[in-house]
Amino acid sequence: MAAPVERDQELELQIDSLAFGGNGVARLNGFVVFVRRGLPGDRVRARVTKVKRNHAEALATEVLVPGPHRVEAPCKHYPACGGCRFQDLAYEVQAQAKQDQVADSLRRLGGIADAPLEPIVPAKSVFHYRNKLEYSFTQYPEGPTLGFHKAGRWDEVLEIEQCWLTTDLGNAVRNAVRDWAREEGLEAYDQETQQGYLRHLVYREGRNTGQVLALLVTAPGERFETGYFVEVLRKFPEVRSIHWAINDTPAEVTNLPTRLLWGEDAIEEELSGLRFRVSANAFLQTNTEMAEVLYGLAREYAGLSGDETVWDLYCGIGTIGLSLAADALTVWGIEVSEEAVARAIENAELNGITNAAFYAGNVGQSVDELRERSGDPDVVVVDPPRAGLAGKALRRLGQIGAPRIVYVSCNPTTLASDVKTLRTEFGYELRRARPVDMFPHTPHVETVALLER
């Protein structure tokens, strides 16, 4: 049966709810239309952008009747900027939508009709919460500037004067780098023509220490005076670490080898009473305040008594594993990034933790070797990327059969899929799960889940 809509058709739609990913859900005689920029309760005029057999996608072009939960967005760049999706949706509704999406994923994809889902932990701060931002350079008539990609566009960058997700200090540092670039007569890199020089600025801030790291990413060649760049940033006493990286590929990446221009090679952040050294490319939860909540839940779910062997898979710089070490017999971490593992070992030493060891390796390929070193684990903590546990890692984890698995997820759909496999093939049951809102005004949600065999 053909879809009842066509591409570029104008529709009047009532938005019922939010789908995973943040689009509004509307129905046209039962046919589902996902509407970007549509919020629950809205009556909108929308233009169809894509048609598939069982659903369509559309963009709201006009809000005819606003829903009861619409609020005024404080950011002057909203909604053109792609950094936030929901500044105009009341925060409590955002949080409830995320709770509902986790429940729906566990029911629909995980096969758990009545999941033991606890209430979402709302964010303590709904603005100014990010400790890391990655800006792109773009060329304006008055010179290069810094900002974020426009909503839905990879090829257009919007100049940002004040971002509500960073601090006043973060905004000031970004604007100082913009002014420096213009003063120096440098040109922004153009993704389409692959010409130009300035590519990205990465800003990291230790929210509990006040220390700042800045990383400038450029095309090849030393076209600026590094000493003056350092001088500009050192006007901010919080800046402790200044790096430069070269990207000689078209790919828009910042995770590159860096050259230290000035200061320490890393800054420090404090989490759960521990100090962590954070380098330019290290993975750290971008919401420091809520990361402490997340790790506290992981500790609670792990239920450690002091006698357990704990595995920390996808351990990054050791934040979760080291926060568990005081309550465990031993902690063993695996991470594919050698740089992150070196930092995890350094962080253990920094905090005087002697019962934690970290190894570089692919999780799916390394757990057998880890088992030979550590013996059978009592608790396994996993914090995988958005794609979830890779097939081999998931199977080996199931076969090893630890009594408890604490799964820290940044994607409810892959969490649900992995939980289903662990239940149906390896005899685990989901005992507890709790969403944590780390990213207000975005569709993203973290979840901590406890599985027991």
Catalytic residue numbers, as ranges:
410
- Does residue 358 contact residue 373 with C-beta atoms inside 8 Å? no
Q: Which two tokens stand for residue 154?
A: 């990879």
Task: Collapse the DSSP code of 421 into the 3-class scheme (helix H, G, I; strand E, B; otherwise coil) and give the result.
Answer: helix
Task: Give buried/exposed letters for 316-328 (b at 16+ CB in 10 A, else e).
Answer: bbbbbbbbbbbbb
319 residue type, one letter: T
- Does residue 13 contact residue 57 with C-beta atoms inside 8 Å? no
Closest CA to 449 of 315, 294, 331: 294
Radius of gyration of the chain (CA): 23
CA distance 326 to 124: 26
E strand or H helix at 330, and its extent?
strand 330-335
Beta-sheet strands, E only, within 151-251: 157-159, 198-205, 212-218, 239-246
**What order do you get walking across the sheet with 258-263 strand by strand?**
157-159, 143-149, 132-140, 198-205, 212-218, 239-246, 258-263
Closest CA to 29 of 47, 11, 45: 11
Task: Give buried/exposed letters for 419-439 (b at 16+ CB in 10 A, else e).
Answer: bbbbbeebebebebbbbbbbb
Closest CA to 336 of 311, 365, 356: 365
For the CA atoms of 251, 253, 255, 258, what is the dihedral angle to 10 degrees? 80
Cα angle value 46/153/41 (rounded, 5°): 30
